[in-house]
Structure 1
């Protein structure tokens, strides 16, 4: 299976935010040191209540972040690309409603 097909399949396994979910504020990590970015993102995710979310703004495709979410929070997060480069990526990340 190609990497593109694998990612597309995995995206289908993690639903996009429900229309009733609250996306909340943007978390723009473009100015942050790369070593701090995942810490900030997972900190924001940990503070979410069910049905809440935020929009991640990044300067590259956060595919490695997606894989980390899938490994550590399988079935407990939503992920939807809102903008896919080439200079800015925006991803809605949320905690599914109970």
Structure 2
């Protein structure tokens, strides 16, 4: 019996083609649209540590990050919105 695997694959946000000033805004907009328990995969050309810190400052404890690929050419992080209590 076939399954709908597309429902389990999180969307991808690839920041590499964007100019740096546009990157954080795109991620913040995606975060605000993310339903509790949902996630997306962020792809970047460097480790987005300042971005992850900024997310935690704006929304303490609301989003979880999991490093999927840690360079040296491409970084991938799964970002999940915590389930609401």
TM range (shorter): 0.7 to 0.9
Task: Answer yes or no: is the 8 Å Cα contact 1:23–1:52 preserved in 2.
Answer: no
Structure with bigger RCO (C-alpha 8 Å, 6+ apart)? 1
1:87 Cα deviation (Å)? 0.6
Deviation at 1:85, TM superposition (A): 0.3
Alignment pair present for 1:34 and 2:20: yes
- The structure whose Rg is larger is 2
Q: How many residues align?
A: 77
Which of the residues 55, 73, 83 maps onto 2:69?
83
Q: Hey, which of these two has a bigger chunk of strand by percent?
A: 2
Structure 2 residue ranges without an equivalent (≥5)? 1-7
Query: How far apart are 1:88 and its partner, in Å?
Result: 0.2
What residue ranges of structure 1 are gaps of 5+ in the alignment? Answer: 1-21
The list of structure 1 runs, each at least 4 consecutive aligned residues, that deviate by more than 6 angstroms after superposition, is none
Please give the residue correspondences for 1:34-73 in structure 2 after superposition, counting only pairs within 5 Å. Answer: 34-73=20-59
Q: Deviations over 1:31-86 (max 9, x none)?
A: 00100000001101110110001000000000001110111111101111100000
TM-score by length of 2: 0.86
